[in-house]
Amino acid sequence: MTEIISMLYIWLKSAHIIFVIFWMAGLFMIPRFFVYHQESAEDSEEAAKWVDRESKLIRIILNPSIVVVWIVGLLLAWHIGAMADGWFHAKLLFVLGLSAYHGWAVSYAKKLARGERTLTGKQLRLFNEVPGVATAIIVILVVAKPF
């Protein structure tokens, strides 16, 4: 198994980066969709279209991406022996946080689909900053390996 991973390492690493980009794109888009959804009239045709868009974003981009990111990421971490490194533990903590954010987004999309609008547009715009900040910290941890 290790030999196969070694041969495919650069391709696995590339896949990890590509799917992280897809995942982050989805995490950046979904709160904006929520803002536009909430600004539409309740029970309108426009609101129904936003439910469909949110559902497709989750089903086609977000959920498949998070699965690939986790599987390939853990495989790569195991292969290079990063599991014992402090920078990796910190990265893992932030990736867990992004995964929780993903879960929150999926659950909020379901709330909006039911007509429940529990957050304001301003709150959703603030939530939109979470993946950007987390991603910046993760990149610094991976590139600089400060500890």
pLDDT in tens, 31-55: 999 999 999 999 999 999 999 999 9
Q: Report the binding-site residues for heme.
A: 16, 91
Q: Report the binding-site residues.
A: 16, 91
The rounded distance, in Å, linking the Cα atoms of 70 and 20 is 9
| Residue 1 predicted with pLDDT over 80 | no
Question: Helix 2-39 and helix 63-80: axis angle, to 10°?
Answer: 150
Domain ranges of the chain: 2-144
**How confident is the model over 71-119, as pLDDT tens digits?**
999 999 999 999 999 999 999 999 999 999 999 999 999 999 999 999 9
Would you say 20 and 72 are in contact if contact means Cβ atoms under 8 Å apart?
no
Is the overall model pTM greater than 0.85, yes or no? yes
